Amino acid sequence: MAANKKLLLLPGDGIGPEVIAEVRRVVDWMGQRRSVRFDVKEGLIGGAAIDATGHPLPDETLSAAKNSDAILLGAVGGPKWGSLPFNLQPERGLLGIRKELGLFANLRPALVFDALANASTLKEEVVRGLDIMIVRELTGGIYFGEPRGIEDKPDGTRKGVNTLTYTSPEVHRIGRTAFDLAQKRKKRVCSIDKANVLETTVMWREEMELIKSEFPDVELSHMYVDNAAMQLVRNPKQFDVVVTTNMFGDILSDCAAMLTGSLGMLPSASLGEADPSGRCPALYEPVHGSAPDIAGQGIANPLATILSFSMLLRYSFDIDEDADMIEQAVKNVLDSGMRTEDIMETGRTKVSTGEMGEAVLKELDKLVA
């Protein structure tokens, strides 16, 4: 079969190249054992790009990103580049690519694998079986609103200003993303706002209700953000898809992530708007950073990145069967007791990054046998 899907891998820095190498093996496995082949390219981003070209997001990487069907990123950053000017820091490469591709929807699943249910700081019965999806608006809201800044007043005091704005089209597109996702899940969306205080989110709530009429099979509820923070730790399993503004999503998605207890297990996706040909820009990445403290030791957990690849198959290519298979393989590996150091417990078998990748491939082999 011809290579038909253009996949750009951006390993980046620290443990990024180590975890991307394990995904590369899964991609190769799919080419050999499944009906989907990828035209895979690798590009430079972050500190690795600074070292090679002087810039964290070289033009070549950006044009390869615009030309690909999906991008999978490892991680960027590290102390080596910490003293560079702000606009040349590795993280600017990642922010730049998100901006250039117009990635307005950030998807952060919080999924607890049974074998890791006791890794959470919450009681096991609260998190066992947890499967929620936080959809955060990523390009609008108070992080980007104008006016903004710090003013020196004539009376010698200072005033800090940030502005929370959303337009109805911005609410509609993030709302549709959430409802679309809910249709593939348990068909429930909870929209989080602060409509008792902020007019912008009164409008957000009203526009969400309008969009709901396009999705009659999906149930919509609303919750104030302060209550949502409580409910996420009290009874997180009440949620299916949660949709919210940029700042609320920033905070709540980190809170939800910690319900699962392990940074090395968390995938994410950032999606843009489809062009007339139907191609939708999309960047997938683990939630964790470049982990300079363990880079080069072969002990990083590659599962967050492998799970990011399964999200890529599901959301960019609609290959649910293969995405399910990868998730099942990860589950089986965990059930078998294999653990990288970050999720290690007594009585389990400690494995390296490469051994964990190898174990996932073996499980995949068994699943297609």
Residues near ligand NAD (CB under 6 A) are 15, 75-78, 91, 94, 263-264, 285, 288-294, 300-301, 304, 342
CB of 38 to ligand NAD, least distance (A): 22
Bridge partners (DSSP) of residue 111 are 131
| 3-state SS, residue 258 | helix
| 142, 162 Cβ separation under 8 angstroms | yes
Q: What residue type is 87 in one-letter code? A: N
Question: Quick one: tokens of 337?
Answer: 């007791």
Q: What are phi and psi of 105, to 5 degrees?
A: -120, 120
Exactly one of 28, 131, 180, 250 is catalytic; name it.
250
Q: Which residue among 6, 66, 99, 143 is the active-site one?
A: 143
Active-site annotation holds for 320: no
What six digits make up the tokens of 313? 């198959």
Alpha carbon distance 239, 224 (integer Å): 14
Q: Catalytic: 250? A: yes
136, β-bridge pairs: 106, 244
Catalytic residue among 39, 51, 114, 226: 226
Closest contact distance (angstroms) between CB of 106 and ligand NAD is: 11
Q: Toward ligand NAD, which CB reaches closer, 125 or 293? A: 293
- DSSP summary character for residue 240: S
CB of 82 to ligand NAD, least distance (A): 8
Place of tokens 């980190």: 254
Our CB check for ligand NAD shows the closer of 8 and 164 to be 8
Q: Least distance (Å) from ligand NAD to the CB of residue 205?
A: 31
Active site residue 335: no
Q: How far is the CB of 259 from ligand NAD (least distance, A)?
A: 16
Please, where are the H alpha helices in the chain? 16-33, 47-53, 59-67, 90-100, 124-127, 168-183, 199-212, 225-234, 246-260, 303-315, 320-335, 353-368
Which residues, in sequence order, are CB contacts of 255 under 8 Å at separation 6+? 229, 232, 233
Nearer to ligand NAD, 145 or 292 (CB): 292
Q: What is the dihedral of CA 171, 174, 177, 181, to 10 degrees?
A: -100
d(CA 70, CA 63): 13
Measured from the CB atom, the residue of 208 and 311 that comes closer to ligand NAD is: 311
Active-site choice (194, 284, 315, 322)? 194
Query: Which residue is catalytic, options 254, 318, 335, 365?
Result: 254
Q: Is 143 marked active-site?
A: yes
Element (H, E) at 193: strand 188-193
Q: How far is the CB of 306 from ligand NAD (least distance, A)?
A: 11
**DSSP H or E segment with residue 9:** strand 5-12
Smallest gap, in angstroms, from Cβ of residue 240 to ligand NAD? Answer: 26
Contact by Cβ (8 Å): 366, 32: no
Bridge partners (DSSP) listed for residue 137: 105
**Closer residue to ligand NAD, CB minimum distance, 291 or 364:** 291
| Nearest residue (CB) to ligand NAD, 189 versus 294 | 294
Residue with smaller CB distance to ligand NAD, 91 or 219: 91
Catalytic residues: 143, 194, 226, 250, 254
